[in-house]
A and B are shown apart, each in its own frame.
Chain A
Amino acid sequence: MSTITSFKSFKELKGNFKRPSNIFPVVKVSLIADTASPFLAIALKGMAIERGLTLELFESDYNQIERQVMDPGSELYQFEADLTIVFQSTHKFLEKFNKLKPEERKCLADNRIDFVNMICQNIPGKIVYYNYPEIDDVVFGNLANQIEESFIYQTRKLNYDLMNLAQGCPDLFICDLASIQNQIGRDTMFDASIYTSTEMILSLDALPLIASRTMDLICAVKGYFKKCLILDLDNTLWGGVIGDDGLEGIQLGHGLGIGKSFVEFQQWVKKLQERGVILAIVSKNTESIAKEPFEKHPEMILRLEDVAVFIANWENKADNIRQLQSILNIGFDSMVFLDDNPFERNMVRLNVPGVLVPELPEDPADYLEFLYGLNLFETVNYSTGDKDRTKQYQAEAKRALTQSKFTNEAEFLKSLNMVCEVEGFTKYITPRVAQLTQRSNQFNLRTIRYSEGDIERIQKDEGSHCFSFTLKDTFGDNGLIAVVILKTIDEESLFIDSWLMSCRVLKRGMEDFTLDTIVEYAKKASYKKIIGEYIPTPKNEMVADHYLKLGFEKMDSQFLLYIDAFKSKNYFIKKILKNGKG
């Protein structure tokens, strides 16, 4: 999945239609808007192709939002989109506002929130809702800030309340149009003469950015997003060259000058790391010298414990990034590489396709604002467990080293003292379960993405049986590493709706352990057979023979296991059951 490095023009996006895109995965999207939206539709489709997706778009005639949502037989419901984009403009909001009596205007934001809530209750699938870029009608001038019935007051309240609403609606995602207007300015966002002649309120120049921001969200919902940030050191994290300038000579630190820019850049990186983005260093340096600032420089924000994998040597960066990939076991297309050196950037771009390599501005003072504009790390999930990911990968790097010392694999696995906790889906782990269904691409038999809302529904559904697996070992806690969802087909058979696992725990016997758990459960509930299915994607080839390897028989497009015929295999994982699972 390729991503933007800079934004193409509207014309170029339209030109994308000529590119062959029928090979791309299809996403069904509805677009309902209260202003004319044909250009937005073109920009979205063009941007989707840019990202390696095909949008199958239903675009309703404009100003039909109410009818489309209220009428159960409307085209919107017939189309059955995965995702619906709802665009209610500030212009129309203002029009409504203008028609109200002054004393009624106070309630406008509340009314709109009720309406959005109603939309969320009615439209199935995910909803992308644009928030409201401000129009200041200056009727109250600056005083508007303290007058509830002013338009600015109602707009800002609405944007704030939308954020609150979204916290309680797992299928609602706000696309931040207001933020885009802050970035490019109202004059670029809106073209009065075009609006007057066409009812379109987004200018051609703003559309690529808006389409990009929207596709960021759609891609993230579909499971395509960036997980890892790879950083160069010299002139990227600090000014100067550590090997030449030494610890005292590099530019880093508050006060005037360029050292400040690097501190602020590092603070941004640190926040990403805290959010769960994996941080890796790939630098041409002697390792001990490269690590010195991390250990000793008083102004360094990033410390060694923030870095999951630290690679400093004199090999080429493309090889180093390949090595990094083998440690992290994530796709190249989920990595972003930042380096001040155009040669290194091109080297990586050419040799490791998939890795996103943004151009960086020449002046480090411009790094941050430039990166803000790209929105590289879109995500639709956040859970506090994300912070632990760095530790898990650090432990993985250690495990990789230890493993090379053991010639006997069984000995190695025994030495890990693995303990696996099996439980159903609890409220506590719901976000992480949803997240795993969205992040796992490789070890994922059917690649069905579930939102938190979906997971809650599955948990309550009587015909569904849910298992979550967490794994601890000598080197640390791996957290939630596998999820299985079974569905009852009839009295005798269980279908494996989802089986996915984190690639960090491959080759540990977890597959056998998991199947054992499933079989034991099925046995207790008197089922006779288990049916599995493999749905191929460009990324999950590693599990193509998963069921055959585990002893299932191939039956048409599915795989079948008779519980009576099942023989358990040897593994070295101790089981702890919670919630009566198993």
Chain B
Amino acid sequence: MEKAEILERVQTIFSDILDDDSIILTSETMADDIEGWDSLTHIQLIVAIEKSFKLKFTSREILTWKNVGEMIDSISLK
């Protein structure tokens, strides 16, 4: 799957979970850039992404992403 396509799907998931349609993600987006993206909603986002893409992240991945780009990289490698 193209990374752009993944980004688009991830963005939809973010909008849904954080209940905010105005969210626009780029590879560089970090948690601090998005209102409501805290350590708790992070878990919700992970679980939703796992379900949507039918994959499972390792616990190491969950803890090491610095931005959306790295998250997308993880997804594209699965």
Residues of A that sit less than 8 Å from B by CB: 10-11, 15, 38-39, 191-194, 196-198, 200, 203-205
Contact = CB atoms under 8 A, between A and B. Distances in A.
A46 to B, nearest CB: 13
Contacts of B17: 11
Nearest to A200: B43
Contact of A192 (B39, B44, B59, B63): B59
B19 interface: yes
Contact of A204 (B39, B44, B63): B44
B38 to A, nearest CB: 10
Residue of B16, B47, B57 with highest tally of chain A CB at under 10 A: B47
Interface string B25-50: 00000000000000110011011100
4 tightest CB-CB pairs across the interface, nearest first? A196-B59, A193-B59, A197-B62, A204-B47
B57 A193 contact: yes
A205 B44 CA distance: 10
A173 B43 CA distance: 31
B46 to A, nearest CB: 8
Residue of A11, A200, A205 with highest tally of chain B CB at under 10 A: A11
12 contacts: A10-B44, A11-B48, A193-B58, A193-B59, A194-B46, A194-B47, A194-B62, A196-B62, A197-B59, A197-B62, A204-B44, A205-B47
B36 to A, nearest CB: 11
A39 B41 CA distance: 10
B62 A38 contact: no
A196 B43 CA distance: 12
Contacts of B46: 194
B9 interface: no
B56 interface: yes
Contacts of A205: 47
A263 to B, nearest CB: 39
Contacts of A192: 59
A200 B43 CA distance: 10
Interface of B: 16-17, 19, 39-40, 43-44, 46-48, 56-59, 62-63
Contact of A197 (B48, B56, B63): B63
Contacts of B58: 193
A204 B43 contact: yes
Contacts of B48: 11
By secondary structure, the A interface counts as helix
A198 B63 CA distance: 10
Nearest to A14: B44
A189 B63 CA distance: 22
Nearest to A204: B47
Contacts of B44: 10-11, 204
A39 B40 contact: yes
A10 B48 CA distance: 11
A204 B44 CA distance: 8
B63 A38 contact: no
Nearest to A203: B47
Contacts of A10: 44
A41 to B, nearest CB: 10
Nearest to B16: A11
Nearest to A196: B59
A44 to B, nearest CB: 15
A196 B62 CA distance: 10
Contacts of B59: 192-193, 196-197
Nearest to B46: A194
Nearest to A195: B59
A247 B58 CA distance: 61
A193 B62 contact: yes
A15 B17 CA distance: 10
Contacts of B40: 38-39
Contact of A15 (B19, B39, B62, B63): B19
A578 B19 CA distance: 64
A193 B46 CA distance: 10
B19 A194 contact: no
A9 to B, nearest CB: 10
Contacts of A39: 40, 43
A204 B62 CA distance: 16
A91 to B, nearest CB: 15
